[in-house]
Structure 1
Amino acid sequence: MGRITVSGLPGSGTTTVAKLLAEKLGWKLISAGEVFRKLAIERGMTLEEFSQFAENNPEIDIYIDKMQRELAEREENVVVEGRLSGWMIKDAFKVWIYADPEIRYERIAKREGIELSRARVETRRREELERRRYKKFYSIDIDDISIYHLAINSGSFKPEEIVEIILKAFDLARR
């Protein structure tokens, strides 16, 4: 049995890595980030606007986190991706992925099809809103990475290499 969580700030590559990891292992993927993006699109909002909306509507985060936790607990083998997955999923091998902010902003600009300057401003604002929400709703300091078994700089490795590092560390941790 195994559970692996993949967390990180926006643009760090968590969704890409989690998808590749789940494929490689043949495990189910649960992605909080994709649910959050889908809910934003459904409401016709940018991620920054939806983050602002979520700050005044705690039921959004609570719904996503509860759903993620319940789905993960039902699965024998699962990769769970999301900013708070490492905090929410018990009995898991926990991975934090990070990258230099400018690398993250460039990735977000490319993914969203927006100007780099806009990605920079919106992402900084979104991160600030999320920090406040996580502190207010859960008493979680998102900058505290001490709960993670492994932290990887995605600016230094390709997604496939990160998956190999995670698999090696996961294997070593289970011995």
Structure 2
Amino acid sequence: MRITISGPPGSGTTSLARYLAGKYGLDLISAGEVFRQLAREHDMELADFGRFAESDPSVDRMIDARQKEIGESTDNIIVEGRLSGWMVENADLRIWLAASLSCRAKRIAGRDGMTEEGARAYTENRQHSEATRYRTYYDIDISDLAPYDIVLSSETFGVDALGAIVDAAIACLARQKGRL
């Protein structure tokens, strides 16, 4: 089974991906983790590296191409990233997580040791940067949720509830494909 999990910064994609990978024994590839690692390798803050990526399309293209290659050629994988639902064309299940900007800013502030105001500004800038890059590089409107099979509110549901909803979807897909 190939599952993609996407959503804006702070929406809980990594938490859900880890939950599902652990429960089902799936491999996990995270575009965000690759991006963060590259920022560290370049000795740059994430926001600075995002601005660098705006001026050097090879950064995003390399991450996205690798994610697509691994996701499409590997069985039993979860591909987590903003564009994974667009990039992994043969995914069995594409999930988008949503939450308000204020909810996500609170999460990011708690996770990254920022003030909520700082996290909000950081998140808005990051979203704008990413949306611009995705439109420019791939002609993708990140707000278009058409590729996704399920859109869930991570503001309404915690990771266990999200996992239970996705569990039900996985069971339905398995029955449809004759795996049960």
1:111-149 deviation per Cα after TM superposition (whole angstroms, max 9, x unaligned): 111111111111101110110000000000000001100
Match of 1:126 in 2: 126
Q: How does 1:95-110 map to 2 (within 5 A)?
A: 95-110=95-110
Match of 2:136 in 1: 136
What is the TM-score with the length of structure 2 in the denominator? 0.93
Match of 1:12 in 2: 11
Match of 2:21 in 1: 22
What one-letter code is carried by the residue in structure 2 that aligns with 1:150? Answer: I
Q: CA deviation at 1:70?
A: 1.5
CA distance in 2, matches of 1:58, 1:87: 18
Match of 2:163 in 1: 163
Q: How does 1:34-113 map to 2 (within 5 A)?
A: 34-92=33-91, 93-113=93-113
Q: Secondary structure at the match of 1:143?
A: coil
CA distance in 2, matches of 1:96, 1:173: 17
Is this contact kept in 1: 2:72–2:90, CA < 8 A? no
What is the TM-score with the length of structure 1 in the denominator? 0.96
Give 5+ residue unaligned stretches, structure 2.
none
Give 5+ residue unaligned stretches, structure 1.
none
What one-letter code is carried by the residue in structure 1 that aligns with 2:106? Answer: E
Match of 2:151 in 1: 151
Q: Secondary structure at the match of 2:72?
A: helix
Choose 36-45 or 124-133, whichever is displaced more.
36-45
Runs of 4+ in 1 over 4 A off after TM superposition: none
CA distance in 1, matches of 2:57, 2:51: 11
CA distance in 2, matches of 1:159, 1:55: 32
Is this contact kept in 2: 1:4–1:80, CA < 8 A? yes
What one-letter code is carried by the residue in structure 2 that aligns with 1:29? Answer: L
